[in-house]
Chains A and B, each alone.
Chain A
Amino acid sequence: MADTSHGTGGLTFDKTKRSWPNEMNILLALIIIIVIFEILGQVLPYMKGQSFLFDTKDRFDSIFNEARLQIIILQVAIIGIIALGVTQVIITAGIDLSSGPLVAATAMIAMSFAQTELVNGNPNPKAIFGTWAMDLPVVVPVVIGLAFGAMIGAINGTFVAYFRIPPFIATLGMFLVCRGIALWWSEGRPVSFPTEQFAFIGSGMMPVVWFLSLAVIFHVILRYTVYGKHTYAIGSNEEAARMSGINVKRHKVLVYMLASMLAAFAGIVLSAKASTAQAGMGEFYELFAIAMAVIGGISLTGGRGSIIGTVLGAMVIGVIRSGFTYVKLDGSYQLMAMGGIIVAAVILDQWRQQRAAAQS
């Protein structure tokens, strides 16, 4: 039913008349950025007419430069997993700064239960526990890591919801606590040599598989379930949500728990990919995760944002990173460009909202 008119009131729910989705703008921006790099590849003299995204080696079976596509998404997949969680937190008008250090702390803890007893016939030089903790089934480190994340998230959520600590402060405190836990866990020494099963979690394109599957799952959850609806309602008007019978406090704890479990999972994938865990891992991850959500069109005042937007935001960051490497500009330029794009995204979004308000 495309266009149905109801009764004297003339009520409609015409799908085609729904407002232009915000995600389309981000997709458009993504395409524009790709085109810019494509043009740079043609005009910059030292690029010798290379293509950014298309296959120039004239193979029959491919149009795109698949290697580049894979790298674009692989390098944002792990932070992208965190971004899926922080998206939900921001929709409730909260924020989570603790995810980067939580990645490190979880990596250390999970890896300690994922070690092999023997490395090339010799005892594991990085062993944390005795042989009882060696060569455990892969579910053990994963479950321990996720449980640790759930606990951290429950504490964040409890402070925010029940003790009314501003989310920025509560999670800033947890940011320091988690970094401390990561350093304390093995007194700063790295934890290494995981089982093959554990290393498989982060091998090859597995981080991308996790990121995209979790994105689909949380897209469905946010859009089609009661949990999702209440998450938006709380961020949109907390008082109205409470008056409507939503248990706002309990819901917030659940949101922070899910966000921290996703960050913990990112820590598991990262340590599996690196085959080692170090206390300094995940630096600035929390900020890049927030940046993905912001580029994806989320509103920091709550109520607005989507998983699709955040995935596109992650892709924008991935494309910029790859693009700068491709035109041979180093990391310092990347950071400056990224900073500009984050601010530009917010300015564009505000402009769009003002226009929408003026039109109605």
Chain B
Amino acid sequence: MTSETDTSNTGQAAPQPDAASGEIVLKTEDLTKHYGGVHALEGANFELHKGEHVAIMGDNGAGKSTFVRQITGVEQRTRGKVWLYGEEVNFAGPLDAREAGIETVFQTLALADDLDVPDNLFLGREMTKLDWLGPFRFLDYKGMRQATIDGLNKTAVKIPNIRNTIRYMSGGQRQCVAIARTATFHSKLTIMDEPTAALGVQETAQVENIISTLKAAGEPLILISHNMRQVMDLVDRIVVFRRGRMVANLRKEETDGQDVVAYITGAKTGAEFEGAA
């Protein structure tokens, strides 16, 4: 473990006691991504502790999704380092990240419309029988169905019939299917990029319910969201991005909606980030 808890970096005067002593799940240092001349992400120093739920907020185009893509290997970063549970990682693709235990719900959902719920949950990692048959090995439909029901029950997700194709499911149900992967596979870190942006009130409540369940189970989470109420309800800490830079790192108890908005709009910049933005 190379995880020294370098709190001066994140700059909080009094970090959460449990977080400070806890294991560091994810740490980035000087994480940077340029698209040609566009500095979409610039020198992000980020830390996530065991059991912690952190929100990333910021205007559209602030670099939030870019940040996620650099961590999960969807893109190759321009500069910087990433550690997962103390081990330095540089994923070649999203699969490597998933195999390492990072489950991501991307802003654009990666689901196959013509398959049903268990098929989508287990796509690419099916339970199988008669493995000596190679690509023609048989699917363990029963096992996958049971695991799907267990996973969905854990998150109290309501889906009328898991054996129908997901083509005609509502946005909320589809989002829940994507999120249920996390609960089914016990990931080490869950990242959700605007999971409720396209959802109605009830569907949003359902997704928030899942997030609370993950919190209770001690599973760490990064939540990208524009919804202030949601963020205040759900997370321990809020990180604000503006124009590709981290401009604030706020514990929930020590801030409020107005304060966060001030950081988002640029009216305020965290003392330790002066000169950054």
Contacts and interface: CB of A to CB of B under 8 A. Distances in A.
Interface string B147-184: 00100110011111111100111000000000000000
Interface residues on A, range: 35 or more
A236 B115 contact: yes
A62 interface: no
A243 B125 contact: no
Interface stretch (A177-185, A226-234, A278-286): A226-234
Contact of A236 (B112, B138, B145): B112
B149 A229 contact: no
A295 to B, nearest CB: 19
A18 B161 contact: yes
A357 interface: yes
A303 B138 CA distance: 20
B139 A356 contact: no
A7 interface: yes
Contact of B139 (A224, A241, A244, A357): A224
A8 B139 CA distance: 28
A221 B110 contact: no
Which of A10, A225, A239, A254 has most chain B Cβ within 10 Å?
A225
A11 interface: yes
Contacts, number: 112
A65 interface: no
A360 B169 CA distance: 7
Given A225-B137, A237-B112, A243-B94, A11 B145 contact: no
Contacts of A243: 94-95, 110
Interface of A: 6-15, 17-19, 221, 224-227, 229-230, 232-233, 235-237, 239-241, 243-246, 251, 254, 303-304, 356-357, 359-360
Interface of B: 94-95, 98, 109-115, 119, 123-126, 128, 133, 135-139, 141, 145, 149, 152-153, 156-164, 167-169
29 contacts: A7-B156, A8-B156, A11-B158, A12-B162, A13-B145, A13-B163, A15-B163, A18-B161, A18-B164, A19-B164, A224-B139, A225-B135, A225-B138, A225-B139, A226-B126, A226-B135, A226-B139, A233-B119, A236-B114, A236-B115, A237-B111, A241-B124, A244-B110, A244-B123, A245-B98, A246-B123, A303-B113, A357-B167, A359-B168
